[in-house]
Each structure stands twice: as C-alpha cells, then as structure tokens.
Chain A
Amino acid sequence: MSDHSSSYVPSNGFTRWLDERLPIIRLMYDSFIVFPTPRNLNYLWTFGGILTFCLMAQIITGIVIAMHFVPHGDHAFASVEHLMRDVNWGDLIRYTHAVGASMFFAAAYIHLFRGLYYGSYKSPREIIWIFGVVILLLMIITAFMGYSLVWGQMSFWAVTVITNLFTAIPIVGESITQWIWGGYSVGDPTLNRLFSLHYLFPFIIAALVGLHIWALHVVGSNNPTGVEVKTKSDTIPFFPFYVIKDGFMVVVFMLLFSWFVFYAPNYLGHSDNFIEANPLQTPPHIVPEWYFLPFYAILRAIPDKLFGVIAMVAAIVVLFVIPWLDTSKIKSVSKRPLFMPFFWLFVITCLALGYLGAKAPEGYFLLASQLFTAYYFIFFIVIMPVIGLIETPKELPDSITEAVEGKSGKEGASS
C-alpha cells in the first residue's frame, strides 16, 4: 500500500548510486517483491497476471506480423496468406496472434466477472474498475480493427456493418461514416487507417494497464471475504507467494492456449474469412467473433436501428457507473444470499446472449434475445440498487486472518 515505507536496501555501490538518481529498482521491489497482498486470494485473482501475459504476447506477435503485412486493399489478403505459407514460422505466429485475441477476451471476461462477484468495483476501488472498463473498451476496438485487417469476406462485411452503425446517428451520421471510411464505402483508405490504429492501440492499453495497476497498488487488492486488510498478519508478500501462484496459472493457461494454436487454430474463427473481401457480395450470414456475440445480440434484439445501437453502447457504458449503482456496502456476493441468485442469472444472461448472437434474429430467438437484453439492463439499473437497500447480508469475519484461521482461541486451538 502507498502508506507503507519502503524496505528496499540497495545492495551495492551501483544500485545505491542509481537509487539516489532514479529509484526504479526500489519501485519494482516495493510493487512486486514485498508488496503486501491479502493472504486468502484464490485462483480467480491470477487473471490479472494472465492478462498481462496476453497483452505482451499480442504485442510481440503483432509486431512480427506487421513486418509481413501489407495494408492495401489489393494485397492485404494475399500478404496474410503469404505470411501463413511462405514466412518461416509465419503460420504459428499468426495463429498465436489470432487465437491470442480469443484467449485475451476469455481471460478478460473471467477477470471482469471476478470483480463483479467479489465487489472489487466498490469503494475504494472505483478508479481501478473504471480503468478496467476503459481497457475493455479499447480491447474491443483493437480486436475489431485487427480482425478487419485480414480483408477476408467476414472482415470486410464486419467493418461494413459496424461502421454503418454510425449512420444511425441523426443528421451527422452519414458524414461521420464517410470520415471513418475515407471514401464513400469501406475501401483501401479504411484498411490503412485501421492498420495504423490497430498498431497504436495496444500501447495505449499498456499505458492504461500501468494506471490500473498503479491504482490497485494504492488501495491494495480486494479479497474473497471483502473485508479490508487490517493487520500485517492479513497479508503475505507478493514474492514468492503470488508470483508462484500467478506463474502456475499462466502455465495452465498456456496449455489451453497452445491446444487451440496447435490443434484447432481455426475453431474460433469463421471459414468465410478465407475468401477474399468482395464488396459486391455479402455473405449470407454475418457473425462477429465469439467475444462480441453478446453485444451483437443486444444490437439485434431491438428492432429499431438507432435504439439498437444505443442499447449496444449502453451495455458497456453501464459498467462505468456500477460502483454507484450498487448500494450494498458488502463487497462479496457470497455474503449476500438475496443478491446471489440474481447475480448468477446475470451470468446465464450473458452466456445466453452469446449463444443468441450467433443465431438469426427471428421467432423465438428474437424473443429470447429481447428478454435477456431486458434482464441485462434490469440487473444493473434496478436489482443492484434495490437489493443493496433491502437485503440482510451474512455476518462478515472480523478480519482476513480470522476467515483463514478461525476465531483465535477456541476454533483455532481445537482444529
């Protein structure tokens, strides 16, 4: 935490000299070695580390791919195939990048639901949460732009459909859309700018991750009980305990990652993207990548174009204000029996919207997406504020130490 004094002691002449000029080793030592971390964190808390790994993997593979990619409407598709077939290890690097995007989102969604379940967005962690939502938003934009660069049929039509969402804006919609396109339709100028921004955004994300971690290190990690750290016995140093725990889970995560890369690299993609972009023919069924499906389902659930777009944007924007929508002082859902079923219904809602986003919006599928979309917003806007006011939460342990070891004295001694 910010108020603990640094215990770093430079060990030799050089580090002493450096420490007086740029205390960077001290910063690292205080942040990632002795940093006091709640002793009771479970494996869900390892996803921060996993996400850092994902971002690094995307940046490294992305820089390499940019060495071979040609951001031109006539050559983009061919250059991707050239990378896959001719460049040494090109297929491995590209599949790692493509599968990596999916793995990144999978980890980010788990991380997000961890925060929702354990109330990690509540005071004093609102800023950490807000930066997290900004990062998610940038990830969505970055992934979308990256997918477009392949310039296959699904890429091209995804760009067409998504940029056309801006035409829903009254009066200026058309001009904004042409400004984004750099022409009168999606074309070469569009591809070029998407490439430029796709290269830029990961570095903005990296900077925001820095702020996210900085804010985290000011107030300290939340923990499964939702009781704040009170004494030194509630914490353990980040190294070696959480370095090992995070490292172990990164390896487990890499196993799953590698399985997709080596055995099912195209499982999460769409076969239509192996056809080069054709502005004169729309694929019969346009589907986004799996990680956008819930939002796509919300877009299509509302039969009006403008309100569909508003609902889809609102589905993300609402996340910014949940620190103030949730009226409960109790952080962990596990201590909130009345709220818990609503929480799990919300999880099911998100999964169901993901399923429905891949279905044609007709008949029962449309009705179901409308019901789940309604619950998505009711959960945040009605259930969160109301339940916090009327519920009786379970009793909280006095401290993290008590939650781990039992009440000192009787239970502690008898066990």
Chain B
Amino acid sequence: MSSDHNDEGRRDFLMVAAGSFAAVGAAGALWPLVDQMNPDASAKALASIEVDLSPIKEGQAVTVMWRGKPIFIRKRTAEEIKEAVSADSTDMRDPQVDGERAQKPEWLVLIGICTHLGCIPRGQSTGDVQGDFGGWFCPCHGSHYDTSGRIRKGPAPTNLEVPPYAFISDTKIKIG
C-alpha cells in the first residue's frame, strides 16, 4: 500500500509530460497552417522594382506599382521644393524636415497610400485636387498632404511613407 503514494506522483508526472508533449506537437503543427498565410515567395520575388526617371519632366508625376501599392514619383519644381523646405519649421503632426524625405530635392518618392485607412490620395494627375498645401488630398476622410507628402490637415496620423529606394544611376532608382 505504501507504493500508492509514489504511484500518484508518477502518474501526475506522466500526465504533465504527456500533456506538454501534445501541446508542443500541436503548436508545431499549427505553425505551418498559420505561416502559409504570410506573403509567399512569388509576392516577395516582386518585392523590388527599377524605375527609369528620364522621361519625367519637371512638375510631372508618375505612379508605378510596387508590391501592389501605388508609388508616387514627383519631379518637384523649384517652387514646390522651396515651399516644402520653408514649411520645415512649422508645427506638424508628424514633424520631419524635407531633407529627410527626399534623397535628391527634385525627386520625391512616396507610397501613395493615405496613412489613415489606406485610400489613394489625389494629386498625381494635372487637374486633380491637391489639397490646401499643394501636395495630395485624400478624398475618403479629408487628409491634406504638402509638397513633401507630410500630413498637414485631416485625420491621417503620419506622413505619406517614403519607401526604401536608392539611386542606381542619375536617372534610375531601385525601389525595395
């Protein structure tokens, strides 16, 4: 009878050990089922693109697709650059100076997605409403961005994002 007490301890140990083993196994089996939903290899393969800037004239803007998102590329006029730089010291929601946002002052490269709820702001084509600050205007909930893509008015929490990009020559950039 004295062995009963020992048996109980052994049984508890076996229960906990078996339970833990099953839990670890279940978690291991679950991970592939969860991870399969992440961006797949074909989506990642398109993760960087090269854009030739030579046909873009001053004051003109083009939209290219990168990772399914619109990328706004604008060759800014001297006036637009001046406006953006002179606004550097004004009070903004997401303070950033223009120099941090453009590698070369005349080229502004932005992810064209409103940081509020993901709409596409207007202001790329000539004749579009560009908002109170001459940059972009989001029609969904009324966010105004300036000529540096910074949020100046409306509900968006942050500036239009600058994607990772690098100049591979004077007239060519690689995004991503």
Residues of B with C-beta under 8 A to A279 = 65, 68, 70
- Evaluate contact between A189 and B117: CB separation under 8 angstroms: no
In the bound complex, what is the Cα–Cα distance between A198 and B138 (angstroms)?
Answer: 31
Distance to closest chain B CB from A411 (angstroms):
61
> Which of the segments B18-26, B32-40, B99-107 contacts the partner chain?
B32-40
Residues B117 and A165 in contact, CB atoms below 8 Å apart: yes
Q: Write the A265-305 contact mask toward B (1 if CB under 8 angstroms, else 0).
A: 00000000000000111101110000000000000100111
Cβ–Cβ < 8 Å partners of B78 in chain A: none
Whether, in the assembled complex, A178 has its beta carbon less than 8 Å from a beta carbon of chain B, the answer is yes
Known interface pairs A160-B118, A183-B68; A282-B140 also in contact (CB < 8 Å):
yes
Query: How far apart are the CA atoms of A157 and B39 in the complex, in Å?
Result: 20
Considering only residues 159-207 of chain A, those with a C-beta below 8 Å from chain B are 160-161, 163-165, 167, 178-187, 189, 193
Q: Does B77 contact A (CB under 8 A)?
A: no
Q: Give CA–CA (A160, B47) in the complex, Å.
A: 20
Decide: A193 and B37 in contact? CB cutoff 8 A: yes
Given contacts A178-B39, A182-B40, contact A284 B139 (CB under 8 A): yes
Do B118 and A161 touch (CB < 8 A)? yes
Whether A189 contacts B141 by the Cβ 8 Å rule is: no
A124 to chain B: which residues have CB within 8 Å? none
B116 contacts A by Cβ under 8 Å = yes
Whether the pair A182, B37 counts as a contact (CB closer than 8 A) is yes
Cα–Cα distance between A167 and B138 once the two chains are bound (Å): 18
A282 contacts B68, CB within 8 Å?
no
Beyond A182-B39, A184-B43, A282-B139, is A161–B69 a contact (Cβ under 8 Å)? no
Asked if A391 is at the interface (CB within 8 A of a chain B CB), the reply is no
Q: Which residues on B sit within 8 Å (CB–CB) of A157? A: 119
In the bound complex, CA of A178 to CA of B118 (Å): 13
Cβ-defined contact, B68 with A187, below 8 A: yes
Binary flags per residue of A356-372, CB closer than 8 Å to B gives 1, else 0 = 00001110000000000
Q: How far is the CA of A300 from the CA of B65 in the complex (A)?
A: 29
B50-89 near A? 1/0 per residue, CB < 8 Å:
0000000000000101011110000000000000000000
Give the distance in Å from the alpha carbon of A183 to the alpha carbon of B42 in the complex.
Answer: 9
**CB–CB B141/A300 < 8 A:** yes
- For the complex, would chain B's binding face be called helix, strand, loop or mixed by DSSP majority? loop
- B98-142 CB contact bits vs A (8 Å, 1 = yes)? 000000000000000000111110000000000000000011111
A164 contacts which chain B residues (CB < 8 A)? 117-118
Give Cα A151–Cα B34 distance, bound, in whole angstroms. 25
Contact B68 A178 (CB under 8 A): no
* CB nearest to A162 among chain B residues: B117
B164 cross-chain contacts in A, Cβ below 8 A: none
Q: Is the CB of A182 within 8 A of B67?
A: no
Distance in angstroms between the alpha carbons of A179 and B65 in the assembled complex: 20
Q: How many residues of B contact A (CB 8 A)?
A: 25
Chain A residues with Cβ below 8 Å from B69 are 184-185
Q: Does B155 contact A (CB under 8 A)?
A: yes
- Known A164-B118, A189-B43, A305-B155; judge A280-B70 contact (CB<8 A): yes
Q: Once the chains are docked, how many angstroms separate the CA of A186 from the CA of B47?
A: 15
Kindly report which residue of chain B lies nearest to residue A305, judged by CB atoms: B157
A183 in contact with B139 (CB, 8 Å): no
Q: Which residues of B contact A165 (CB under 8 A)?
A: 117
A179 to B117, CA, bound (A): 17
Report the minimum CB–CB distance from B59 to chain A (whole Å). 21
Bound: A180/B118 CA distance, A = 15
Given A161-B117, A164-B118, A303-B155: A280 and B63 interface contact (C-beta under 8 Å): yes
A280→B68 CA distance, assembly (Å): 9
A183 touching B43 in the complex, CB below 8 Å, given contacts A164-B118, A279-B68 = yes
Q: Which residue of B lies closest to A177 (CB)?
A: B118
Contacts of A281 in B (CB 8 A): 120
Q: Would you call A185 and B68 a contact (CB within 8 A)?
A: yes
The CA-CA distance from A383 to B151 in the complex, in Å, is 40
Which A130-174 residues sit within 8 Å CB-CB of chain B? 157, 160-161, 163-165, 167
Distance from A166 Cβ to chain B, minimum over Cβ atoms (Å): 11
User: Given known contacts A184-B69, A305-B157, is B40 in contact with A286 (CB within 8 Å)?
Assistant: no
Binding site for A on B (CB under 8 A): 34, 37-40, 43, 47, 63, 65, 67-70, 116-120, 138-142, 155, 157
24 CB-based A-B contacts, threshold 8 Å: A160-B117, A160-B118, A160-B119, A164-B117, A167-B118, A178-B38, A178-B39, A179-B37, A182-B38, A183-B39, A183-B40, A184-B47, A184-B68, A184-B69, A185-B67, A189-B39, A279-B68, A282-B120, A282-B138, A282-B140, A284-B139, A300-B141, A303-B155, A361-B141
A positions within 8 Å CB-CB of B = 157, 160-161, 163-165, 167, 178-187, 189, 193, 279-282, 284-286, 300, 303-305, 360-362
Known: A164-B118, A186-B68, A285-B139. 20 other contacts (CB 8 A): A160-B119, A161-B119, A163-B118, A165-B117, A167-B118, A178-B38, A178-B39, A183-B40, A184-B39, A184-B43, A184-B47, A185-B67, A187-B68, A189-B39, A193-B37, A279-B65, A280-B70, A282-B139, A284-B140, A305-B157
